[in-house]
């Protein structure tokens, strides 16, 4: 009596297994948009209340890259990260692990603060240019199909020297991004001449900490949306 039962089960499996093999899984990693934010505290949303009001979260939630259910989102940004730290620690997370199809990058603000806090501007600018070039080289080489968007720096008129140094950083950003055909979100232009977008804190003589307010993060999101097709 057992033989006919097993024969029936095997016959049923012979029908079902090929159908299951052909069935599409409900969520496949490689078939969905993968958005990754790289950079410093701006991409981390530092100072936003709550943190989900940071610009990268606003971009994700708005569905500007793809519908939210169809998007995997990862944020590798670290407050305080310099361009060297993005190159050494964050770019590998993108190329070796998550392998995003869309990347936003904010970098240079902490390199700028090094100058405002007394470092040699020529040395810092040269290092920044080299690091940014290496970051984009790695991303373009190992993720050739990824869409990359880079934000430039807003000026901080309240801090002595910033109005002279920020344009130099933005010139480097534009030149390097242009060489890799990476669109640049004009955060500088979105912030210029507007109040209420920045929170500036001073810690001791010449030590500054600067971050956008919620309104500032909305302005950043607007700048990025302007260059995203």
Per-residue pLDDT of the chain (229 residues; tens, 9 = 90+): 455 565 665 555 555 555 545 445 455 666 789 999 999 999 999 999 998 999 999 999 999 999 999 999 999 999 999 999 999 999 999 999 999 999 999 999 999 989 988 999 999 999 999 999 999 999 999 999 999 999 999 998 888 889 999 999 999 999 999 999 999 999 999 999 998 999 987 766 556 778 999 999 999 999 999 999 9
The span from the CA of 141 to the CA of 94, in Å, is 12
pLDDT computed for residue 25 by the predictor: 47
CA distance 18 to 2: 25
Closest by Cα among 91, 185, 190, 107 to 146: 91
Domain that holds residue 43: 29-225
- What's this model's pTM, rounded to 2 decimal places? 0.85
- 16 within a domain of the structure (yes/no): no
The closest of 90, 200, 87 to 154, measured between CA atoms, is 200
Domain-located, residue 115: yes
Asked whether residue 212 is assigned to any structural domain, the reply reads yes
Q: Which residues pair with 37 in a beta bridge?
A: 75, 104
Residue 1 within a domain: no
Question: Is 53 contained in some domain?
Answer: yes
Helix axes 55-62, 214-225, angle to 10 degrees: 50
Cβ atoms of 187 and 107 within 8 Å: the answer is: no
Contact call for residues 170 and 152 (beta carbons, < 8 A): yes
Structural contact between residues 149 and 220, judged by C-beta atoms closer than 8 angstroms = no
Number of domains in the chain: 1
- Measured in whole angstroms, the distance separating CA 3 from the mean position of its chain's CA atoms is 61
Residue 3 covered by a domain: no
Please check whether residue 104 lies inside any domain of the structure: yes
Q: Which CATH number fits the domain that encloses residue 81? A: 3.40.50.1110
Q: Does any domain span residue 24?
A: no
């Amino acid at each position: 009596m057992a033989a006919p039962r097993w024969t029936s089960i095997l016959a049923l499996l012979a029908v079902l297994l090929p159908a299951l093999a052909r069935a599409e899984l409900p969520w496949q990693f490689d078939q969905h948009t993968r958005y990754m934010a790289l950079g410093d505290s701006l991409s981390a949303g530092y100072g936003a209340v709550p943190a989900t009001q940071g610009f990268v979260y606003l971009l994700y939630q708005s569905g500007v890259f793809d519908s939210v259910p169809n998007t995997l989102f990862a944020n590798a940004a670290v407050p305080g990260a310099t361009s060297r730290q993005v190159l050494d620690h964050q770019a590998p997370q993108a190329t070796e692990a998550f392998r995003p199809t869309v990347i936003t990058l904010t970098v240079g603000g902490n390199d700028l603060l090094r100058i405002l806090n007394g470092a040699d501007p020529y040395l810092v600018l040269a290092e920044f240019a080299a690091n940014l070039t290496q970051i984009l080289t790695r991303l373009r080489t190992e993720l050739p199909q990824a869409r990359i968007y880079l934000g430039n720096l807003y000026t901080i008129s309240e801090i002595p020297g910033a109005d002279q140094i920020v344009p130099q950083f933005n010139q480097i950003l534009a030149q390097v991004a242009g060489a890799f055909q990476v669109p640049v979100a004009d955060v500088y232009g979105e912030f210029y001449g507007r109040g209420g977008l920045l929170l500036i804190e001073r810690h001791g003589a010449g030590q500054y900490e600067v971050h956008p307010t919620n309104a500032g993060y909305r302005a950043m999101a607007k700048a990025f949306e302007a260059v995203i097709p």
